[in-house]
Every structure is written in structure tokens, then in C-alpha cells.
Structure 1
């Protein structure tokens, strides 16, 4: 059956490919009825729908029931005219149809006496949705342009929608990070939302948490956010569907020049900072749109630049003194011996004994001192404060052409390009403690799209698009701080030429001092490409609007493993036969405790395809009842690598009879068993054509691990997702609607699940030596065989995460342009991901070990059930969640005072809050009931208000009074939000796990609560070794959030067409201290205290010339 289904999908794909290859569309529809004043329907009435911006028209007639519908309408402002013989013509003007929107209009035609038109003007604001039961909200271009946005990032507007909890209030960080995980929608995880631009994918499938293009707000027409029970046409992920609609040209020329700036001189002081942080922000650009040929061909172009000049946050590090770096250790109290002896070195003078590599290590610290903001030359901890430049540069190019080929065919092409460059002095990923690895996060994003809308017949319509989105992310190293030659490292590498930066310095760790990294673990190569092709075919039949479509996506990402091919050196006095009794002296002489070097930097060539199809019926079942019934199908194929150069641990393949023997100190008894017991390779081995890409593909190590696992380590799936919604209009006039719906949604699992599997044996080969000198690493002793370091694994029975969403609500239009709605929204999540350590010892094993004298206790690695391995972080799909929320919304989008007021009262519960959650380090990980509680993204109350007040005085006054005192506006965003649930933990042997609740109130009275003590610390204690902690999950509630952002604008009308607007924005106007979460570790000296806060008041100024 599945084979026949795949053939059917393939045949449909061929039909699509015979036409222009285009992708998924997000158009809307207008429905309505025509009747006379008595309520009798008028069949055959003529309906003309006109797009006011492009003058495109659609003409139809009503059916025998007086019903009409016009579908596949692009977003825009529409006029609708109804006429019938013997009746007066009626016109409704200014209806704003949002992306994927649905409008219903009812006409009451009067008998004609003379030829005349009745014009009923309507606001471009909201209308009651009497057509569907979905929960969706449109952020209009008015809101996009008028509301204060710190960093001018459109994603901040998504947080204005009911049901959205803001997880990070630092708006500027959203601009620089490309992250889309700073909010959670309706109790779903922050990486479960689907981002699109003009219906085309705008999400990096690697993490599901960052975007390809950060669209500039001056290029946005509107943002559509669908949060519950949306139709079968939509939904790659289980969270919200967020679509940005870009601007297009119209029949009139329009354009803008704009600039916005921020400077730290005008910012308030951060609450915990000793001084202001340096920060300069500039954002400037232009846009221009209009007709190339009126009524036929339109264009829109724009370009925007963002520049940030700032310093990193102050960081304290411990550096050796200048005397130590020169070889004089007389200021140290430690006895220092000749290596491997108990013979003291006279005067602790190591200068004649220092090795070339030891001197090179000390030159790294010399470099760090020169770049430090301050340094105290004393043998104390944290004697240096490091700050470095952290600039950000971004540019976006946007171009769009719309072409009306005929009355039956519309086409457009859109090009978007982001140039993104973030310089991090310590490294973007796996950052160094010292500025040895400055990187440029170079991530250019591209998104061309071609679309075609065709009227095939009066009843049949086709929408199609092809969309390609890709970025070329790399983090190349800058300068020379990463090079061996800069410091004079001389040691020979065991595997020369192991990677792109094989001439880089090693990672170095010295007990008691700042460590530093080389380029091997810092450089990331991760370009990704998504090509999506889709087609939607609509057919009208009576009161039914049928729609069916196909969605195909092909993804590729090549990513390196970032292994330590430049070497990794550890200097400690323990387990080091050649120690001097002081780790820093060991480093000066080159006497390492352990040296590790990887043979190569593995690269995974990852791919996946996904095929979705849907069918739906939008049915006007009764005059006042509309139903939407649909089914979406997805053929889900896991991400895999074309070279099959990945491996996985499978518990069912682990054979206890072949287990290695692990001594109490964690060392494996040589020859005692199979150290790779339980591993399996993907696919049927390395394909011959891929062999040159896989170092050591024909080695005995690779051959020793069997192949045969599914290429993505879990099986493909066929997913069926039913959708249903209704809208009932109880009254004759469309001023009240009762709506509800249900839908099943599945997530596309993030690619990071599998990317790290290239670093697992047998494809990750490395040498490890102990107690040697860096001048000749191979002269060291081959390391005793220890258990394998932490690895990731994937459950071969993994299921695709699902969310079942439902809602019921009432929406009504009040007087004077007010709209009110109250909606219950709920969902349950099943088969959600988590990543516990499945190899953590049981409570019984820990208790038995703890009962022994301390000298006889084994290390944790010796107690683990799967011998030969350390932590095994396995992705499982057995987590659950639930969400129940009451969402109320009051809006007014008409007149001089415009506002929205949203309140969400909700509770999100889960036994895992993220894909990688590993509470209690995996202890008793199968006890999901123990881990069930408030999700980390739960925010019990969220109140958000947005408002714009156009001061009415002197707006039309001419002369100097009108120029100075007229056309002022004030707008703002106010947010109150409950604090996050927090769980107290305590450090125990080998694990940090939940603490005990010992009684008493947890929350302190308001007058006693503060940054020094946020909650009652005496209510908790560290749990003993032989049982789980008794404190409930989320028992502590962290500080809430209060933000008041405001914008003041003044507009000057330079002429009939040209307007100049000046704007001043204040973020966190009252400079309210938004404390962040307190320390919840019982064994910490800072238990219960808070050491960081959100951004203080920031001021931003801008100017905008429009025509």
C-alpha cells in the first residue's frame, strides 16, 4: 500500500514539474451572501472584487443560495461590489485580507428607484471570523512600523500574540543571534515553530531554532501567526506557523529612506554592572516600489544595513604572574621538584629548564595580559578582567517583481539576501577562555522564490511556488592568535594535516588557571540548503471549496565534527608520573598529564527529503455555519549522511558477555572485552563513491563495528494529521461567532540529533598519551584504556513528536470599533524528545558504593551498567506535555486610538521541556512521573498591551502651529509576565540532582524578597545519596517580567506625497530592574541569590522619509 502511495505522489510531482516549478502558497479567500432587505437570497447577483493597491479584479456571480466565494486572493486591501437587476448597487470598501485570511461579507440590497450606488465604508481593521475555527492573528503593517522595536527585529512582534510566553527579554540579542527560540507558543517547545517568508521555509533544520533571513521591518507587509486548529494546508511543525508577507509594488510609486540609532551614552546603567557597556547601533536603508507597467507589472526593492559596535561583557580570568611566565616561581608556596622526582629545584627557578613549548604556552598568557582591560600582577585568582570588541554587521537586499500576465495568470519573483557577520574574540562556538580563537561567524542567507497563481476555469484555481533557502555558515578564524608560529610551538603533531587549521595551537588546560582553545574545536562549517516545491489546486462546488496540495522538501547540510586534530593538552599533578608538584610548572617544562590528538576532523554529508500532501473542504454547511475538514499526510524520512560515516549505540546490541572489565578507578582491564560493545554503523557500509570522503574507511577499526542500522538510525514514518474546525454565527448579523477546532501536528526532528554521530568510534580515531613531554608526545606512556567519553545515541524505536491541539471560543464585535474574544486553547504532546543519560548508575548501586569507606569507593564510571562507556545521552521519544490556557483579547483598530489588550492564563506541564533535557544527570530516568511538573517555559500569567494614540489636535491645521503642534503620535508595548518555575538541585557524588524539600514556605514575603535572597533557602537541603530528592519540579517561582516600551513620533508633511517622521523610542522606560533567575544549587555559596538582570532603559532615535 505504501508503495502505491509513493507512486501516486511521484505521479503528482511529475505533473507539477511539467508546469513551472513553484512552491506552497499562503493566499486567502472572501465569501459572502447576497440577499434583499427581507432576507430572501438573490441568485445570479454579480460580484466584483478589486485589489485597491494593484487594481486587479475578480468577477463572479452568486449561486442559487445567494452565496459567493473568491479564493486564492493575495494579501491586500479589497473593495467588494454587489449588484443585481432591480436592486441598488452596494459596495464595501477597505477590507484588509491578511495572509491566509478569510473574510465573510453579507450584502442586503435595496430595491432600485434610480441608478445609484450605496457605499458602505469599512475600516481596514478586524472583522469577526465567521468562516473558520482556527486561532490566528495578524500583525499589521501599521503595527510593524509604529511599535517600538529594540534592534528593529520583527520576531519581537510575535510575542504580542495571545498564548506567547517571552523567554528572554533581551531584544537586541535576537537581532544578533538569528535565534527564534526566545518565545514559546501555547505550551509548545520554543524550537517547534515553523517560520516562513511568503510561504517559503525560513528555518534552519539543524536546530529548528534559527532563521535563514531576518527580514527587515520596512520590507514587511504583515505577519500572520497561526497558533491552533489551522487547516491541513499548513504545518511542518507542531507549534505556531509564522509567515512574513513581504511588500510588493502597487499602481502608485511608494518608497522610504530611514535611519535609526542607539548610543550607550543615553542608556541607563545596568543593575549589576560596575560601568556602562559600550554599545553603538545604527540601522539605515531604503525601499522603493511601484509600477513598471500600470495594471500589469510591479516592482519593489529595498536594502538595509545594521551595524553594532560593542564590547563583550567583562570576564574574570586567572593568569600566571609575569615572573611565572618568565620561569621564576619563587612567589609560589608550592614545593617544585625536578620532573618525576622529589628533588627540589633550587630557588624555584625554572628558566634554564623551560621547554620551547612551555615558553609558547606562557606567550599565550602574555597575549592575554596585553588584551586585558585590567590586570593585577599578583599570584591571586581572577587577577585579570577581559573585554574585547564584539562587532556585528548585517545587510539585507530585497527585490520583488509581480506580473499580471493576463486576467487568469499572476506571477511573482522575490529575492532575499542577508549578509551576516558577527565577530567573536573568543570563538562563536566552543569559545575559549582567552582570545586565542577570534572568529567571524559568516552566515550569508539566500531565499529566491518564484510563484504562479492561475485561474484554470471559473471553478478551478492553481497556486504554485518553488522556494530555495540556504545559508553558507562558517566560522573562519581571524588574525594570528590561533597559529602555532605566533607563540613558537614546536612539538610534532602525531597526525599532521588533520584538518583545515592543522597549523593551529592545541587546546591547553592547566589546573588553577584559565584554559584556552585552539582552532580545531572552534571552526564550524555548516552550510545548509532547503529546496521546497509545492502546488495547491482549488475547486469550487456549490458551498464547498475543495483544496488539495503537495509539498516536497529536500534538505542538505555538510557539517564538520570539530575534533581536536590540533591536539589537547592537560597539565595536572594527579596521575602524572613526570609532575613537578605544580601544574603551572609542569606546563612551563612541557610535562603533560595527558595529550590527546584526533586523526582527522570528520565531516557528515547530511540529507533528508520529506513529502507532504493534504486535502481539505471549506464547507458553508448552513448560512450561519462553516466547517473546515481536512487531512494532511506526511512521508517522514530521517536525516542521514550519504557516506554512512556515523555510528550509534543500541542497548539491545550490547552483550554483557563481551563487556570489558572496569576497575574501581575507571580504568579498563586490557583485553577484557569489546570496548565498542553495542555500537552499530549506519546503512550497509561506506558506498564506494563516498570512500574518499571518509578517512580510514577501510581500517580494521571500522570493520570491527557491524553495519546494518537504518541510515538515520530510526525508521521512516507515514503520518496522518486530521484537522477540523467550525464557526457558527448565532445572530443574523456577523457580529458574533462561536468557533472551535482540533488538529494533529507533527514536528520535523532537528538535525542536531544526528550531526554529532560522526564523532563516535569507529569514525573518530585518536591517540591518547600520559606522563610525557610535549616536545615528543609519542614519548609519553600510552594512556591506560579508560571508558569512552560522553557520547550521544538515538533510540532505534524513535517516534515522531506529535501535538494534538484544540480550542473553543467566542468572538464578538462591540460598538465604536471594539472587538472582544475569549478562547480556551489546549493541547497535549506525545512522543516528545528528551536526552537522558541511560548509563547512569542506579540508586542502589550508588547507595552501596557510598556505604563503603571513602578509600574503597569506586568512581561513577565503574558503576555504570554499560561497561566501557561513560555517559550515554540517548534521544528518546517518550516525553509528554499538556497545556491549558484561557486567552482573552480586546482590540480597537479604528479611529485615533488603536490598541490590543491580551491576557493569557495558562499552565504548561511536561516531564521534559526540551529535546536535550537530562534532569538529575539521568538518575532514574525511566521514572517519568518523578520528572513531571511545570515546564520550564510555563508562564502562568501573561498580559500584553499595544497602543497607538494619534493626537487629534491640529492635525489638519496649516501654518507654523500645524507644523509644530500637529501630527504627533504616541505608541507603546507593555508586558507583565509571571516568573519561570525553577527546581532546586544539590551536588552529590558524580551528579547534580534535585534537592530535598524540608518544610516551610518557599516564597518569601514581598518585602523580604530581593537579589540577595529571592526565596526561602532554609526550605531545601541536599538530598542523600541513596534516594531521590523530595522537592517538587518547579517549586520555586523566579522573578516576573515587566517591560514598558514607548515611542513618540512627529510627522511633517513636506508636500502632498512626501512625509518626514522623527521618532524617539524608550525601551524599559521606567528602568525597571527585571531580575533574572536565582541560583538554585543548595551547595553553592550563592544559593538563593541573583547576580544578573535584564537590560536597563535604552533610548533609540530614528527618522523616516516616505512618499
Structure 2
């Protein structure tokens, strides 16, 4: 606490000494060198930079080197004018300054007088960056308006940039989910991007994977991203820094009304769907902006309303037959159904007389799901059912913005965004069920206020400051009745009685070789969150140095329930199960489970974190051809904690084998045989003012479990992140540059690491049983105690993930406004997170245990290394990865045809792909090399092209021709991308292992492969029980992605300033089937098949009026 107070005082002192309490981004700078016709520099020249929209001007004087720089300019289009004694006045117009942009405006003056005729040069196309080294890209305002976006989601624009892989093409689903993990930039893990609106944080730090506000496309001026060599101004996350700049008012009143409509009548049928699902999509937007006082005070306001009645993408699943639901398995001709725990076959495979009430209830859920299926085939085959269920969404957004410049030295800014968000997820939100029995209403109102004040002390000293807040009130209440025990007749007693909001819910059920389902306990989420960041940046220009320094304080809070399994989790599998009938589904029919676990309660954590950051950066114009950027960022990284200290952790270093409990072969703890909470610690004492907020499962344990853990269970860190960039103009004419950059970035890990730690004793309890019957999960012995159910843990030496990224770029301005960039971009990633089960038995132990006859075989819980525990999934930071790529980008911004083309060839390799990855091969969690290979988000080839063609014909013809044949435009997005690399696995002896590769080509020719046989399954086999498997990581390539989106528009002029536009958009116009969900488990009857596909062709119409 004292250390936090010291840092707070230091940060506040820095803020006060820099002059203000708020900050503002969305800026760039214009710099250049003024010379005469011979190349000699001109000192003392007056440079005026004017914003075309607001008429705001800035004046500076060139240094002795002839150099000038105008920093902290708001994004927009600028004119630059130069005046010098003895020379003609010169002007260049049309500089498009983007967020973070670095424009070079060099002038070669002509001899004459200032009053002589003006030399005007219009700037065409993108400007070559000759002053900084970052790899950045911007989608400008013209592209934002011209390109048809499926779902009108601005984040789709990020996927048009070089180095960005699109991981999910269902943009409508991305829009309704608020997810930001459907793309990744430059090989970074999904969920590591620094997503901003107007330079302010726009992420929920609980997952780092969803937005707070999904700002409407009609309110966006531009979207920019720095993907490599990022400036020291950026921190907090290690991925791309993505900023959406909202529109502002100008000296002219402008606005518009936009209506978009979509109906399934014009859509194509999805590949696996029996018919076209109903779709109704309505999107209405209105906005207006302009001056309150010209040149001084401006406003912008907008509102958007979306209503989407859509169905989910079709998904194929495997359900039992109706006869099997009734207990008759005669249709399983190759399977012997036995009396439980014996080798004696059941006559006619009919065990209906053995079905228990809870076994019948398990099967009754399938009966209800069959009624909801779009297609169901009553045969014992894989993928015999297809689901495509209603997924309605309503959303409204309001935005208001004020820009006020009372004088030439002060600038005030304020913005407010509010989203009203309501989505029904038929499968449940986040921890979704595989069947639509747990629909939730995701209510997630989002708020995003931002305030700023900039002050110019003089031409060489400027302060920009900001406060940004974002919060949402997310809750996901259950809908319907298909999650209730009473709906299906579940009767089994919960070990702890079911202590949670939905204590009348069914358990989570998994059945080997069949599609399982979930209950409500692990799905319902209550997680309101607030994030506040206060920052201040000070820019000082000293000759050819532009020095920027800044500080930031971040405070975050989230109150979230643990989403524990208080309704129970039951798994049916023949191994490990000493009471098996030799078939998992028939085990389920009589309730004989392989494992059962249950949590005692669903506690709430009151999570908080504070972070302090500071940076300094010098942009040094060494000479007319060379610029350097040198900076460093500092972060005082504090873990997420609970204000009530009601979290616990398993610390292996505190596990004492001499105090270990004795576990019977049935997986039960022998009473009084040891300490069942051996190795558990808690995060300090409960503060006196928090006692009333904490539920304690066992108060007696509170004194026996040591309060020795740090508040978030891992250390806080002082992190230094050096940044370096250079830009060299080899020919000195500003048309060619060679640039490069290096940056060290640390990642603010997601709060989910800590959120489940409330579910551990003494604040909650859990148990796990094996080889029992669901009618009495504890086995009917009241004194029996199961081992502690699966828990999560955090390594006490956890380190924040670090990324070292670097790039080398060549840019060239081509004739007629064309532009070319070729870049190498790479990354080294260290201390990446993973979550292995550190309590998993070794492979040799598992093989030996499997060789014991099933009647006397110990359960897996009996042979785990940490006695008294089931799984212990520990977050560790010891994974590594790397990324290398070649990126090419071409643009044509002027003329009737505007286009961009991006191609990326890349490799993203690592030993894990996500924070929650678990390696359970039995090799031991220390053997990471076994998993090194292509990541789940590796896409080797990525091609994306955008274009807008304004057809010039008949524009100036007579009225009848002009109104009918003139004013037509065509735009589109073309995308081709290779598929993900998958690893073939085989499963037996209770452990997931690799498949055995036996030789031959894995890939099939285009005329051989299809959804039921995508790759050559004959080259793989399930390994013997004593073998781990030899197939390499990522040896199977899943289908790629091919999309053609096309928009056709017709414009009509309405009076002098109005424009009416009719629009028809087609997404996936070629109706190409993009297959997904490839089964790669050899022991599965679905091996080699594809069970899902992306959206088919969609067509929408729109009408837009702009003025």
C-alpha cells in the first residue's frame, strides 16, 4: 500500500508540473526543410499550416538548418504555405494527415517577392514517411465510407491492412459479439491488441478480447494501426495499437441519414443448412455536425440503431437415435453393450430396464434438442443433426462531441458514447453449450466519455492532456426452460445442495463420441467493469529535436462471479470408468459416470488493479536525409487483486508431501489421513470493511490456510521498454525512404487469470468423484470425501509477456498518386502464458494404470502427483514464439479508380497459441518443444484488395442520361487467405496424444477432397496405448478463406450540396463455401470431416442522404 501511494504521488506530481490534468490524441505532425533553388537552407522562413475544414492555422519559423516541425495537429486535410524574404510565396495543398501521421513537406523556393504569384502544388496519393520508423497503416475517411462492411462493423477495416490475418469471416457474428479476437496483426496473439477510440482505451480488461463501445461506421473518420516499431507513446498491450478516430464538426454544416436493410429472400442457402434461415437486418443512422461559432466552436452528434433477427451459422453435431434415448442400442452393430463393470453382454443390447431416473433425464435433454434441430437423421451416424437457431440482436448507439478553441493557445474537447446492447445467445454467452439448451440474454450497456485540454505555451512547447473512462454493466441472465432440472426430471442430490443463482439448473454433460451440453452455472456471468485512465503529454521542440514526455495512471475495477460448476459436471467415458457398459452413451443412460465434479458456491470477486506508466521520446532530424526516433516507456505493472482478498491459490512450493492425504483407488480421501488443503494459500487477511462482502465456505479453514500470498499471487514489476526507429531518404527528394524500427512491449495480462480463484477453499469448495452413479454422485457414503475438484492456479513467479518486434521498410512514391511499400516485419515473443495441468500423471504411470483390469483399476485421481486434488490448471509464463513476414502494400488514392492491395507471406510459430492452452500428453508440462509449430492463428498467405471505381461516363451529359447512366460507382473487397495448421491427435488410456503418421501425402487434390473427407486420413492412425504418437505439429492444413464482397452505388445530386445515394451490397458474391471446424482426432468417427461453414452470399440494400 505504501509503495502504491508513493507511485501515486509521483504520477500526480508529474501531471501537475506538466501543466494540466487531461490529454488528447488523434494527432500527427507536419515537418520539412525549406531550401532555395541551389539546395541551400533558408532560415527564418514563416511556415503556415491550415486545416481545410476548421480553418485553424499554426505558424512556425524555420531553424538555422531550414527545418520546421508543427506537432500535435488534429487529423484532417492541411494546406502548407511558406513565405521568406526574397522568395516567392509557395503553397502545397491537400496533405491528408492521419492519426499518428508523419508528413514531410519540403519546399524549394523560387527567387522573387512574397507578393509575386503563388506557386500551388496539389498533393496526390499517400505521402512517403521520411521521418519515423514505425510500420503503420490507415484506412482513410474515403475508404470508411466507400467500402461495404458486413454488419457495418468498423473493426473489419483492420483486416484490410498488411500483416493482419482474419480468423473468422462471419462479420455479422463478430458485430453482435463485440469480439476483437477474430483477427491478429503481425503474429501477435489474439487479445493482445491495444484497441482505442480517440486514443482512449476501448477494451474490457477482463478478457482483453471484447470492446466496450463498437463505434458506428458513420461516426468514424479513420482507423489507424501501428503494427511494428510502435512509438513510446503506446503501452499497456503488446499487440497492434489500433485507434478509431471519430468525426468532428467543421466550419460547414454536414450530416447524413443512412438506412440499410437486408432480407433472407435475396440470400443464398448455407452449405449445411436444409433451407435459408430467416434474416431481417435493419440499420438506421443519422448524424450532423457543424459550427456553433465559426473557427472556434464545433459540434458533432450521431445516433445509430441496429436490429438483427438472424440465425446462427449451421453446425453439425452428433446426437443419439431415438431408440438409444429409450435405452435400446441394437443399432450399434459393432459395439458390445455389457452389464456394468463386467464382460457379460446385455441381451439384444437393450438396457431400458436398467435406466435410472437421472439417466433418463440425461437422455431427455437430447429429445428436447432433436425438436430444435433444423435437420435430424434418426440413424447411428456421425453429424446426424444440424442446428441453426435464432440469434436476435438489438443495439443503439448515441455519440456527441464538442471541439472548442477559445483562442489560438487553448483547445478543449469532449466526447460521449453510449451503447445499448442486447443479444440473445442460443448456446449461452462465452462458456457456450454445444447444444442450444442454455440461451442467455447478454445485456451489456457500454459508456465511453472522454475529455481533453491542449495548451500551446509557444511555438516550441505544447501540452496535450486527457481523461478517458469506459465502463459496461454486463450481465447474461438465462432464458427459456431447457436449462432447468425440472424440465427433464433430474433428481440426483448435489453434494453441496446447489448454492448459486441458478441452483435449479441441469449439470454440464459430456459423452464420448457424442455432442454434450451445459447447464447454467458455468454460463451465467455478472461482470460490470470500469476503466479510467488519466494521462498528460508535453512536447518540446528544440531545433531539430522534438521531445515528447508523458505520464499515465490507469485504474480498473470489475465485480464478477466465479461461474463455478455448482450444478455439477458429469462426464461419461469408458476410460477411466470401472463401472462402464463398454459404451459411453449407454453408461449415460444408466447414469454411470467416469467423472463427476461439483463446486460449493458461486462467489463474487471485487477485482481491481492500478497501473502507472511514463515515457520520453526524441524525434531527431539528424539531417535532411536521416531522422531518428529514440524513446523508452516505463510501466509499474501491478497484478489484479480483490479488494476483499477473497481469493486463494495453489502454490507447489508450499505443498508438503509428508502432509499429503491418502487417496483410495476409488479416488476418495481417507478421513484424517493428512491435510486436504495442502499447498493452498490465500491473498492476505480480509480487511475489516470487507468482511460483510465475503462468503466463507468453511470458517474454520480461514485460520488454517496461510494468508501469505501477494494480493494478486504474482509479483509487481517495474518494466522498461526501449523504442528505436530510423528513416532515411537516400535521394533527398522525399519520394523514397528506407525505414526501420524496434520496440519492446509488455502485455497487460487478462483479468481472467484471477477471476476463478474465488472458487478455492476457504471461500468455496469443490469435490471430484470417479466411477460412480449420477443418482448419488458421492457414492452413497456420507463420510467419503472426494478430492478437491478441478481448480485454477497462478504461478507465483509469473512474468508479464514480452514482445520484441522489429521491421525494415522501403517506401516509394510512384507517378500519378500511386504508392508502394515493401516491409519485413518480425517478432520474438517470450514469457507467453499457458495453462497446463500440473497434476496430470506421467505417461508411464497412465499406461501402467491402464493395464490393470478395470474392476480393480485405480481412478486417475488416485494416481495424481499432488494427492487430494483433481486437475490443477496453473497459469505459467514460460512459453515462447516468433513471427516473420514479408509484407507488400500498393495504393492508388487519386483519380476515378482508388485501390489498395496488400499481400503478406508469414510464419507464426510457438509452443502454445493461447493463454489457456493445456498440454496433457503425459510428457510432463515442462516439455514445451513437443508442441512447437504453427500457431492456431498462423496464416501463411494473406491477400486482400479494396477498390472503388467511379464510372466517369455520362457525368456531364444531358439531364436524362446524367440521371440514369451517370453517377455510378463500384467498390469491393477481395480476400484470399490460406487455412490454419492443425495437429492430428489420437485419444486412449485417458490421455490426449498425437496420432501416428505412417507415411504418404496428407493433402488431397482438389477433386478428391470434400466436407466428408478433407485430407488423407489413411496416413494417420491411433497410436498404441504405450506410444505418444509421432505426427508433427501443424501437419494438417484446414480450408482457406476466399471472399468477394462487391457494392454498386448510384448517386443523385440534391440541390447544391446534397447527395442521395442508392446502394446494393453483396457479401461473398460468388457464394464460395468456406468450410471450417475440421475434425482431426483419429479415434473420432468424424475424423477428417468438416462440420461447419462460413456465411453464404448475403445481399443488402441501402439509401443514404448526405449534405
In the superposition, the TM-score normalised over structure 2's length comes to 0.91
Give the whole-Å Cα distance in 1 for the aligned partners of 2:586 and 2:966: 74
Contact 2:382 2:1086 in 1 (8 A): no
1:582 deviates by: 13
Contact 2:598 2:789 in 1 (8 A): no
CA-to-partner distance for each residue in 1:721-745, whole Å, 9 max, x for gaps?
0001011111131111111111101
1:1090 deviates by: 2.3
1:622 alignment partner, SS class: coil
Paired position in structure 2 for 1:931: 931
Paired position in structure 2 for 1:733: 733
Pair 364,270 (structure 1): closer, same or farther in 2 beyond 3 Å:
closer
Give the whole-Å Cα distance in 2 for the aligned partners of 1:876 and 1:557: 23
Give the whole-Å Cα distance in 1 for the aligned partners of 2:240 and 2:947: 24
Pair 693,322 (structure 1): closer, same or farther in 2 beyond 3 Å:
farther
1:1104 alignment partner, SS class: strand
Give the count of matched residue pairs: 1096
Contact 1:771 1:781 in 2 (8 A): no
1:11 alignment partner, SS class: helix
Paired position in structure 1 for 2:561: 560
Paired position in structure 2 for 1:470: 471
- Greater mean deviation of Cα atoms: 151-160 or 269-278: 269-278
1:894 deviates by: 1.2
Paired position in structure 2 for 1:616: 617
Give the whole-Å Cα distance in 1 for the aligned partners of 2:698 and 2:63: 72
1:962 deviates by: 0.7
Give the whole-Å Cα distance in 2 for the aligned partners of 1:807 and 1:983: 30
Give the whole-Å Cα distance in 2 for the aligned partners of 1:575 and 1:542: 74
- The answer to whether 1:705 aligns with 2:717 is no
Paired position in structure 1 for 2:535: 534
1:680 deviates by: 1.1
Paired position in structure 1 for 2:181: 181
Pair 889,772 (structure 1): closer, same or farther in 2 beyond 3 Å:
closer
- The answer to whether 1:746 aligns with 2:750 is no
Pair 584,1041 (structure 1): closer, same or farther in 2 beyond 3 Å:
closer
1:754 alignment partner, SS class: helix
Give the whole-Å Cα distance in 2 for the aligned partners of 1:579 and 1:129: 69
Matches within 5 A, 1:444-483: 444-478=445-479
Matches within 5 A, 1:348-387: none
Pair 657,818 (structure 1): closer, same or farther in 2 beyond 3 Å:
same
Contact 1:328 1:348 in 2 (8 A): yes
- Greater mean deviation of Cα atoms: 42-51 or 866-875: 866-875
Give the whole-Å Cα distance in 2 for the aligned partners of 1:486 and 1:1001: 50
2:962 alignment partner, SS class: helix
1:1011 alignment partner, SS class: coil
CA-to-partner distance for each residue in 1:138-184, whole Å, 9 max, x for gaps?
10011111112111111111111111111112211210111111112
Pair 922,199 (structure 1): closer, same or farther in 2 beyond 3 Å:
farther
Contact 2:438 2:478 in 1 (8 A): yes
Matches within 5 A, 1:172-251: 172-251=172-251
Give the whole-Å Cα distance in 2 for the aligned partners of 1:674 and 1:473: 39
Give the whole-Å Cα distance in 1 for the aligned partners of 2:574 and 2:842: 32
Paired position in structure 2 for 1:866: 866
Give the whole-Å Cα distance in 2 for the aligned partners of 1:48 and 1:635: 41
Paired position in structure 1 for 2:645: 644
- Greater mean deviation of Cα atoms: 375-384 or 258-267: 375-384
Contact 2:272 2:386 in 1 (8 A): no
Matches within 5 A, 1:223-372: 223-312=223-312, 313=314
Pair 371,1000 (structure 1): closer, same or farther in 2 beyond 3 Å:
closer
Paired position in structure 2 for 1:1030: 1030
Give the whole-Å Cα distance in 2 for the aligned partners of 1:773 and 1:1024: 30
1:400 alignment partner, SS class: strand
Pair 314,1029 (structure 1): closer, same or farther in 2 beyond 3 Å:
closer
1:939 alignment partner, SS class: coil
Contact 1:336 1:585 in 2 (8 A): no
Paired position in structure 2 for 1:170: 170
1:507 deviates by: 6.4
Give the whole-Å Cα distance in 2 for the aligned partners of 1:214 and 1:994: 41
CA-to-partner distance for each residue in 1:812-857, whole Å, 9 max, x for gaps?
1111111112111111011111111222222332343355556554
Pair 261,502 (structure 1): closer, same or farther in 2 beyond 3 Å:
same
- The answer to whether 1:719 aligns with 2:725 is no
- The answer to whether 1:11 aligns with 2:7 is no
Give the whole-Å Cα distance in 2 for the aligned partners of 1:909 and 1:568: 35
Contact 2:273 2:388 in 1 (8 A): no
1:606 deviates by: 0.6
1:405 alignment partner, SS class: coil
Matches within 5 A, 1:517-596: 518-565=519-566
1:1099 alignment partner, SS class: strand
Give the whole-Å Cα distance in 2 for the aligned partners of 1:853 and 1:623: 81
Paired position in structure 2 for 1:128: 128
Contact 1:330 1:349 in 2 (8 A): no
Contact 2:972 2:1045 in 1 (8 A): yes
Contact 2:887 2:903 in 1 (8 A): yes
- Greater mean deviation of Cα atoms: 663-672 or 436-445: 663-672
Contact 1:23 1:551 in 2 (8 A): no
1:426 deviates by: 4.1
CA-to-partner distance for each residue in 1:489-532, whole Å, 9 max, x for gaps?
99998878944345666768899999765543332101111001
Paired position in structure 2 for 1:1068: 1068
Give the whole-Å Cα distance in 2 for the aligned partners of 1:624 and 1:66: 13
- Structure 1: give runs of 5+ residues left out of the alignment: 338-343
Give the whole-Å Cα distance in 2 for the aligned partners of 1:510 and 1:731: 68
Give the whole-Å Cα distance in 2 for the aligned partners of 1:373 and 1:237: 42
Pair 522,880 (structure 1): closer, same or farther in 2 beyond 3 Å:
closer
- The answer to whether 1:819 aligns with 2:819 is yes
- Structure 2: give runs of 5+ residues left out of the alignment: 341-346
- Greater mean deviation of Cα atoms: 499-508 or 1040-1049: 499-508
Give the whole-Å Cα distance in 1 for the aligned partners of 2:539 and 2:711: 37
Matches within 5 A, 1:847-926: 847-850=847-850, 852=852, 857-921=857-921, 923-926=923-926
Give the whole-Å Cα distance in 2 for the aligned partners of 1:639 and 1:195: 20
1:291 deviates by: 0.8
Paired position in structure 1 for 2:344: none
Contact 1:846 1:1026 in 2 (8 A): no
Pair 921,734 (structure 1): closer, same or farther in 2 beyond 3 Å:
same
1:1045 alignment partner, SS class: strand
Give the whole-Å Cα distance in 2 for the aligned partners of 1:1083 and 1:1095: 30
1:1055 deviates by: 1.4
Give the whole-Å Cα distance in 2 for the aligned partners of 1:1073 and 1:550: 50
- Greater mean deviation of Cα atoms: 446-455 or 1036-1045: 1036-1045
Paired position in structure 2 for 1:1092: 1092
Give the whole-Å Cα distance in 2 for the aligned partners of 1:831 and 1:575: 35
- Greater mean deviation of Cα atoms: 744-753 or 372-381: 372-381
1:706 alignment partner, SS class: coil
1:882 deviates by: 1.1
- Greater mean deviation of Cα atoms: 429-438 or 224-233: 429-438
Contact 1:726 1:739 in 2 (8 A): yes
Contact 1:464 1:535 in 2 (8 A): yes
Give the whole-Å Cα distance in 1 for the aligned partners of 2:379 and 2:905: 55
Pair 513,1040 (structure 1): closer, same or farther in 2 beyond 3 Å:
closer
Paired position in structure 1 for 2:156: 156
1:919 deviates by: 3.2
Give the whole-Å Cα distance in 2 for the aligned partners of 1:876 and 1:732: 50
Pair 545,118 (structure 1): closer, same or farther in 2 beyond 3 Å:
same
Paired position in structure 2 for 1:415: 416
Pair 697,537 (structure 1): closer, same or farther in 2 beyond 3 Å:
farther
Paired position in structure 2 for 1:959: 959
2:898 alignment partner, SS class: strand
Contact 1:368 1:435 in 2 (8 A): yes
CA-to-partner distance for each residue in 1:437-462, whole Å, 9 max, x for gaps?
43210011110000111102221100
Give the whole-Å Cα distance in 1 for the aligned partners of 2:598 and 2:1005: 55
1:769 deviates by: 9.8
Give the whole-Å Cα distance in 1 for the aligned partners of 2:872 and 2:430: 22
Give the whole-Å Cα distance in 1 for the aligned partners of 2:406 and 2:400: 19
Paired position in structure 2 for 1:340: none
Contact 2:624 2:732 in 1 (8 A): no
Contact 1:565 1:600 in 2 (8 A): yes
Paired position in structure 1 for 2:53: 53
